[in-house]
Structure formats: structure tokens, C-alpha cells
Amino acid sequence: MVYLVGAGPGDVGLLTLKACKLLRAADVVIYDRLADDAILNFCAGAKKIYVGKSAGKHTLKQEEINRLLAEEARQNKIVVRLKGGDPFVFGRGGEEALFLREKNLPFEIVPGVTSAVAVPAYAGIPVTHRGLAASFAVVTGHEDPTKPESTIRWEKISTAVDTLIFLMGVANLPQIVSKLIEHGRAPDTPAALIRWGTKPAQKVLLTTLAEAPSKKISPPAIFVVGEVVNLREQLRWFETRPLFGKKILVTRARAQVSKLSSALKNLGVEVIECPTIKIAEPSDNFRQLDAAIKNLRGFDWIIFTSANGVEKFFTRLKLHGLDARALNKVAAIGVATAEKLLNCGIVADVVPKDFVAESLAEALKNFVGGKKILLARAEEARDVLPEALKNFGAEVTVAPAYKTLPEVSAQIDFDAIDLATFTSSSTVKNFAAAHGVDALKKFPTAAIGPITAQTLQSFGVMPAVVAEKFTIDGLVEAIGKFYGR
């Protein structure tokens, strides 16, 4: 089966539920130049083939793309043909569908949110509005170059439709404007040029029809003509987000990046993901943790110092045929860890006020004398907590639940970054190892807490932001305060 899927206009949040489901199930994803490559993160283990086109540069000709679709489909694969916007709105989806029909191959069309409507909406411009616009038309700004002459009925469309939306028309803007004015559209008609619509890099230029060609803007952009453009000043909402346009680097592990990225995107941030760590099995293949789980009733307290530790521990617990009833007293280093425990049916008995090892040790001081403690944590971690508990008279068993490994991200323009976030000492150390200490000094930094801040300082970097609450929410709040918003 071949699915011709619309990827939407750019904002990954505008991807449809069906598109997400198909990307996760796909064996092969054949994709165009997308406005947001994060969409490809929904692909589980699919083979990804880029066939995109840009001005003057075609990876494959359309005929070759058609043949590629057929070749992959004939191998009994689930093939997703991923297109920006909607497959049937200047996406050549019709041509591909006809080719598949000719070859007796099954296909399905999955519509996407078209930029023709979504991009003006993100700019605060409704394509229709009572009293102003009862009709709109979507027009290509780049006709098939092999046609002997234009098939756009300029004499009809110029004045018959209230709102005109031209896609892919920046290069041909002088000709478009000339045709519209020649056929009766008033030169002073309000107009807008919108670049990178629905993305944090969105740029909107308000103008008039006659003045539009003099505006400097490069693709990808759409051209909107009509009285509805005047509503932007009242309806603009996207650019009014408190951190709109800021580029912030997120260095969390790839599997953990979503919460921080989502929170920042909600504030209008352009998030640049640069994972520096990945979570892996401990070096002993859970030998110590499994041994502790087999004797779980022998521990008076189990202490968790991260959400990762909770997740890995409970995965092993289930493998041994046990559940939350096997635990006695439980302590969590902070709110995020306590929330993860709550998802597993456990309410932490102790959560310190400050989410660091020193505070957790102090909170347990009067409860652990003569007790057996299991500490499920990362393989490499500070010894502050186990040493303090031993000083309080506890018998401590440290069982690695996971380890962190460095991950090197794709090339990133660090000079364009406004701020970089670090959520653990590991993210700092691995970033420095992968990109060099000098890269750390190219931008202001934000640390999730004092321990991470100390690690930054050890590299000669004084963090501009240190969260007062050592959580993702606390970090986002501190970043907002840093920018005074």
C-alpha cells in the first residue's frame, strides 16, 4: 500500500493523527523538502528516502519518483509518500496517484493542512471574513514551465475573488502583480508576504498590491491579496508569544527532549535539538539491579534520583513478575521523579525541598539509621548521597539502572543560538566533548540547577540562567524571567 500523506505547512503540531500513525507503521518513507524535519522523528524504523525539490535543484525527476514508489510498493511494503502541505494542493499527488492506478498498485490519500489557509491564519489573516471576503482562491505562483502559455484566467480571477493566495510565487511576483492590476485589481489592495509561515522564524511583510514586488523576501513564502490583510493588526497572535523568534538549544537525551521542547515552543521559541546523551543499559546488563530486585523485601527504603531510574527499575520489576506491592518505603530526589513514580502507582514517602542529592540525604537523615537502602540510579553519578546515608548509619546498596552515553548531533550553527539549555552535568560534559569548550562560550547558557551550573563553571562558563526550581517547568520559568517576559 502507498499512502500519499500531507505533512502540513511546517508546525509539527499541525500533522494529522492519521499521518503520525502511518509514519510509525511505515517500512519506507519517501519525502519531500519539509518545513520541519522533526516530522521525520515519528518514523520508527522506516527507511527514509529524500526526493525533494528546491529552486533549480531536483533530487529526482517526477517520473523517477513515480517509479520509486512502484518499486517499493511491489516489495509488499507500507510506503508513505510524505509531502509538505496537502498532496492535492500543488503537491503533484494526483500525478503519483494516477501512475499507481495505471500500475494496479493500491494507494490511499491522507490530506494535510494546506499552507494556503494555515499560513495566513498564523499571520492573523483570515482568508474569509463576514463583510469583507465571501470567497477565496488558491493560485499557483509557479506554473508548469513546459506549458506554451499561462492557463490562469487572469481576466476572471483578478476581480471575481475576494482573497487571493499565491503559493510558490516569490520569484514571479512582478508578473503576478502586473497581471492582477492589468485585469482590474486595485493597486492599493492590501497585501501580505509571509515567509516560513507557522514556524518560529515566521516573517510577515504588510504592503499593497502595487508595492509588493519592491519588498525583499526570499522563498518559501506565500502572497496574500485582499481586504482581509487589514485584520492582521487586530488578529495577530503567533508572533505575540513571549519568546517568539528566540533560538534555544536543547541538549537533553533524544527520548527526553519532548517536554522541554514543547514548553519552549508554546512560548514561541524555535527549538534546536542537539541531544548530547543517550540512555543505555548499564555495563553489567542489570546484574546488580536484578539481584537487588530478587531480595526487594530486604530493603527498608528504595531511593530514586531520576525519572530514568524509575522507568528502568519498573521495567525490570515487571520482568521478575513483581509490581509496586513489592516496595517498602520510597524516596524521590525531586518532583519529576516523584511524578514518574506516581505513574507507576507509588506515592513517594520523601521528596526534599531542593532537588539535589545533599537535600535528599538531609531529608532522610532521621529515617535511615540501621536501615537497608537500595539506591537505583545512573551508573556514573556523584557519591554524595550514598556516602551521606552511610554516615547516618544506613547500609547502602547501589544498583545501576542505566548509563548515559555521549551522542553527537548533526552540524549546528552555534553562532545563531540565543541560549542553550543544560539539564544535567552529563549534558554539559558531553556537549564539550563533542563540540569543544569554545562552543560552550558562543552563547548564554541555562542550567536546571546548581550542580549543572557548577559543571558549566568548571569549563569556564558562567550560566546566565539557573533555575530556582530544579525541574523542566522551573527551567522554562527562569528562561522567561531572563528575557523579562
- Delimiting residues of CATH 3.30.950.10 domain(s) in the chain: 117-240
pLDDT at 143: 77
Question: What number is the average pLDDT over the span 205-223?
Answer: 95
pLDDT-derived band at 274 (thresholds 50, 70, 90) equals confident
Largest Cα span, the chain: 91
Between 353 and 222, the more confident residue is 222
For residue range 346-405, list pLDDT tens digits in order.
999 999 988 788 999 999 999 999 999 999 999 988 899 999 999 999 999 999 999 988
pLDDT at 144: 67
Q: Model-level pTM?
A: 0.79
Fold topology of 281-404: Rossmann fold (3.40.50)
pLDDT at 95: 96
Among this protein's residues, is 318 annotated catalytic?
A: no
pLDDT at 382: 84
Residue 449 to residue 352: CA distance in whole angstroms: 14
For residue range 32-90, list pLDDT tens digits in order.
988 788 899 899 889 999 998 765 566 899 999 999 999 999 999 999 999 999 999 99
Among this protein's residues, is 27 annotated catalytic?
A: no
pLDDT at 53: 75
Instruction: Answer yes or no: is pLDDT of 314 > 90.
Output: yes
Q: Residues 36, 83, 86, 168: which is the catalytic one?
A: 168
| Mean pLDDT of all residues belonging to the chain | 92
Coil/strand/helix, residue 149:
coil
Q: Residues 1, 18, 27, 53: which is the catalytic one?
A: 53
Question: What number is the average pLDDT over the span 119-145?
Answer: 93
Rounded to whole angstroms, what are the CA distances from 45 to 41, 42, 48, 276?
10, 9, 9, 21
For residue range 80-101, list pLDDT tens digits in order.
999 999 999 999 999 999 999 9
DSSP labels for 207-226? EETTTGGGS---SSEEEEES
pLDDT at 304: 96
- CATH code given to domain 247-276+407-482: 3.40.50.10090
- Delimiting residues of CATH 3.40.50.10090 domain(s) in the chain: 247-276+407-482, 281-404
> Which cell is 429 given?
560534559
Fold topology of 117-240: 3.30.950
Write down the CATH superfamily of domain 2-113. Answer: Tetrapyrrole methylase, N-terminal domain (3.40.1010.10)
Among this protein's residues, is 103 annotated catalytic?
A: no
Q: Residues 32, 36, 86, 162: which is the catalytic one?
A: 32
For residue range 96-130, list pLDDT tens digits in order.
999 999 999 999 999 999 999 999 999 999 999 99
Phi, psi of 4 (to 5 degrees): -90, 105
Instruction: Answer yes or no: is pLDDT of 146 > 80.
Output: no
pLDDT at 55: 59
User: Which residue reads 505547512 in cell numbers?
Assistant: 9
